[in-house]
A and B are shown apart, each in its own frame.
Chain A
């Protein structure tokens, strides 16, 4: 224990005051002459023992009270645990982003130099210090083993996120408040690491030292992007690709060979070109691949250049080449009384990019529809139920559309059920001829979304879609009303359906009146629409939205919406949950390295993050300022060092107050029971 104001201890002499008062009080007592003190002595003798104890106790209490009062002024305290070398903690952050693969010197890479620095830092403080190591790229990866088992990471593929790394260090400091901590950040000072920089909140007495293993000047020629048209490409047609190549180095790259390769199994296509890329500039390279057979093609662009970072000299993509999907349209009428003309026309049209058409007038959209079209995806084939004796082999069609379910016989409905159960896709548009008996057949087959009611006419206000699932891949393009407002579609009549528990309502006229539903039967899926495909109950066939919505519904059933069969990722942490509006965005991450990863009918294409190719460096001052850190070897740091040596104290005055109060109460009680 120590005293913050020890000079007050001189007042301990006041402890003698109760003693003096005790003596003075004896001297100042009143004198009375008695004829005899015999009786008094008898009394006092009986009380003598108790009285003696109480007197001493009283004296001791009073002296203790004075002593405590003096101590209060002297402020006794207990020092907090002082920091010693044995309580040191060092946090080492090692950059293992893709840019750390840059060559360093004659051999090795930046990561190798970083590992050497890390080992030096880990052993510098001796065996008593606590060492915690973490690798970081776009995420933080704490190293759980002893630092002497530190090994160079094999995979350097992800981006750089210094913010998360420094937050990890901050949290470790806070979790160990009694340790004298410092942080070593070993990195190549890539500027992209500043993204998202903010005041981290590392305790001010924690020194953060930056170990720069980067190269002041490095040469890097990188393929930043490789693009192909979206969607399924028709076979035997040329495929245009384009790539962006950036020269981050100080010197121009002249006549650099560029090779575009497309592979599908044993089949290969090559396109060779040369490019010249000036220093600090980008060049777009275009190439065409011709006569690609139907199938899934893996496409790679390589830049043949011996620069300092080779991993970004290659970029990957993939494309699915397939003929338009065969779609069987079951028309309830006859060739002369065609009910599915508009449907077939919409299916046969080329793909419309809604976003490209946004902001334009209706007439402009109509005029430009063909210009912005992006290939025919569907090949509709119609069967007129009035004329057909039996249905064709449904398994030949990936998608079957029923235009008027009221015209279907029970046996035909049963065939459809088998088709869907085996994995087929079915789209049904309710029609005016959906009588009670037909509706029961559909319900009993399980192909109906629920209980079907008779068609219901709208009142003076037509039925409009008031809500739809904007996150569903089928309707995601209509999430932004600028791209198409489904509520503009109006219907005079619709067929109410009470959806079963397994039915998913995708769009509704009213909360309890579904417009579009989907449900599964066996291996297949069914989309049910409560209005006919014709304009019988609403003139929606004339709306610009008719074509895209028919195509979206069909494409969704065929798995062509959302990401589709080809998923594009960049190296990083495993991103299991898609972010909103990121279905068509290639910024989702994958923890695997760059490459092609087939998975059944889908293919995942993983590339390096493009920003890792930019090896532009930041200044150390930018690092410290960006994250709100104090650079070492400044006056503040010196002051922090001094502060580390400052011992803080736990003062004991609250306990002394309690003790003093207790003594006062006790003294009062004893004094009242003690004869003088």
Chain B
């Protein structure tokens, strides 16, 4: 079940207010640069972890992970399987120094900032920055690929000091190529992710759904655990405001003018269908899908995801 991204505007994971202590997108927007934003997210994330009922878990990812094709059956937790009929593989400490591959969509569509102070690119890079900081803290190697019509920038995973600065620099670069070809990008990125690890894809997936899924399959084929952050702008998700609007396609520059009231119902229904298709496919491919909108507090998104992930593991 997706953490976010239900048909109606989410109510359970709305942008965090100052009461929760998480930085809101408005507050993050006031911070300049990926580094500051990522720091804000991580700080909040740490606090959230402490408040979380799952306290005691480390910043590591779960000691269990889902079984992927090719895993050694000796490492399967059969007790967990007997309990909930799901296959999980134990990961030992030595194995938790994993590779984190961050793949961020930098196509022009990611520049959309209609319903939030943060564009999808800014939101995604902030999340990527936070994830890289968290991983680097536990001495996991972090790599980065920027995706557009292909992999336009790539950093091999590394845990060396200075890696974070490299990542931040690349994330701050804000390239905005017009074309998008996620299938090719993901396929290329999959080829570049030589060692098994966790692949975190942050993208709006504004491409042909079949091609997107094909690209993701490439990653899974290489035994990576794939976490997909499907980032959308609130306008792209719900067309929230009424009135006559001239929509500008950031990639094709096409303009469409319409009354949002007249098309909202049909549009949301269409988006829901698209998201549902993605969810179904991700479920089949054991890809963790987190559907978020840029008006949600990134920290809350991470915390909720981790809690959910932990619940799955405990339940397993």
Q: CB distance B114 to A675 under 8 Å?
A: no
Report A-chain residues with C-beta under 8 Å of the C-beta of B153: none
Q: Cβ of A33 < 8 Å from any Cβ of B?
A: yes
In the assembled complex, the Cα of A215 lies from the Cα of B245 at a distance in Å of 98
Are A675 and B263 also in contact (CB < 8 A) when A31-B245, A39-B271 are?
yes
Q: Cβ of B236 < 8 Å from any Cβ of A?
A: yes
In the assembled complex, the Cα of A35 lies from the Cα of B207 at a distance in Å of 10
Q: CB distance B257 to A34 under 8 Å?
A: no
Out of B236, B241, B244, name the residue touching A34 (CB < 8 Å).
B236
Report A-chain residues with C-beta under 8 Å of the C-beta of B232: 35
Could you give, for residues 218-241 of chain B, a 1 whenever the CB lies within 8 Å of some chain A CB and a 0 otherwise? Answer: 000000000000001101100001
Q: Cβ of A203 < 8 Å from any Cβ of B?
A: no
Q: Cβ of B249 < 8 Å from any Cβ of A?
A: yes
Q: Cβ of B120 < 8 Å from any Cβ of A?
A: yes
Are A35 and B258 also in contact (CB < 8 A) when A29-B246, A30-B245, A43-B266 are?
no
Out of B112, B206, B255, B259, name the residue touching A675 (CB < 8 Å).
B259
Out of B110, B204, B245, B262, name the residue touching A32 (CB < 8 Å).
B245
Are A30 and B233 also in contact (CB < 8 A) when A35-B250, A44-B263 are?
no
In the assembled complex, the Cα of A39 lies from the Cα of B257 at a distance in Å of 13
Q: CB distance B267 to A675 under 8 Å?
A: no
Q: CB distance B113 to A39 under 8 Å?
A: no
Q: CB distance B112 to A35 under 8 Å?
A: yes
Q: Cβ of A46 < 8 Å from any Cβ of B?
A: yes
Report B-chain residues with C-beta under 8 Å of the C-beta of A46: 266
How many residues on chain B are close to A (CB under 8 Å)? Answer: 38
In the assembled complex, the Cα of A587 lies from the Cα of B245 at a distance in Å of 99
Chain A interface residue bracket vs B: 20 to 34
Could you give, for residues 155-178 of chain B, a 1 whenever the CB lies within 8 Å of some chain A CB and a 0 otherwise? Answer: 000000000000000000000000
Q: CB distance A35 to B251 under 8 Å?
A: yes
Q: Cβ of A40 < 8 Å from any Cβ of B?
A: yes
Q: Cβ of B248 < 8 Å from any Cβ of A?
A: yes
Q: CB distance B248 to A32 under 8 Å?
A: yes
Q: CB distance B250 to A34 under 8 Å?
A: yes
Q: CB distance A35 to B270 under 8 Å?
A: no
Out of B206, B241, B266, name the residue touching A36 (CB < 8 Å).
B206
Residues of chain B from 32 to 63 with CB closer than 8 A to chain A in the complex = none
CB distance from A33 to the nearest CB of B (A): 5
Q: CB distance B233 to A675 under 8 Å?
A: no
In the assembled complex, the Cα of A29 lies from the Cα of B259 at a distance in Å of 9
In the assembled complex, the Cα of A35 lies from the Cα of B110 at a distance in Å of 6
Q: Cβ of B256 < 8 Å from any Cβ of A?
A: yes
Most buried by B among A25, A28, A35: A35
Q: CB distance B259 to A37 under 8 Å?
A: no
Q: Cβ of B132 < 8 Å from any Cβ of A?
A: no
In the assembled complex, the Cα of A32 lies from the Cα of B249 at a distance in Å of 9
In the assembled complex, the Cα of A33 lies from the Cα of B235 at a distance in Å of 9
Q: Cβ of A674 < 8 Å from any Cβ of B?
A: yes
Q: CB distance A39 to B267 under 8 Å?
A: yes
Are A675 and B262 also in contact (CB < 8 A) when A30-B244, A34-B233, A39-B271 are?
yes
CB distance from A674 to the nearest CB of B (A): 7
Q: Cβ of A146 < 8 Å from any Cβ of B?
A: no
Out of A31, A34, A47, name the residue touching B263 (CB < 8 Å).
A47
In the assembled complex, the Cα of A39 lies from the Cα of B110 at a distance in Å of 16
Out of A31, A39, A41, A51, name the residue touching B246 (CB < 8 Å).
A31
In the assembled complex, the Cα of A33 lies from the Cα of B114 at a distance in Å of 6
CB distance from B265 to the nearest CB of A (A): 9
Q: Cβ of A42 < 8 Å from any Cβ of B?
A: yes
CB distance from B95 to the nearest CB of A (A): 37
Q: Cβ of B70 < 8 Å from any Cβ of A?
A: no
Q: CB distance A33 to B271 under 8 Å?
A: no
Chosen A-B contacts, 19 in total, with CB atoms closer than 8 Å, are A25-B244, A26-B257, A29-B244, A32-B235, A33-B112, A34-B114, A35-B204, A35-B233, A36-B251, A37-B256, A39-B267, A39-B271, A43-B266, A44-B256, A44-B263, A47-B262, A51-B262, A675-B258, A675-B262
Task: Report which A residues bind B (CB closer than 8 A).
Answer: 25-26, 28-44, 46-47, 51, 674-676
Task: Report which B residues bind A (CB closer than 8 A).
Answer: 109-114, 120, 204, 206, 232-233, 235-236, 241, 243-252, 254-259, 261-263, 266-267, 270-271, 274
Closest 5 CB pairs of A and B: A675-B262, A35-B109, A676-B259, A29-B244, A37-B249
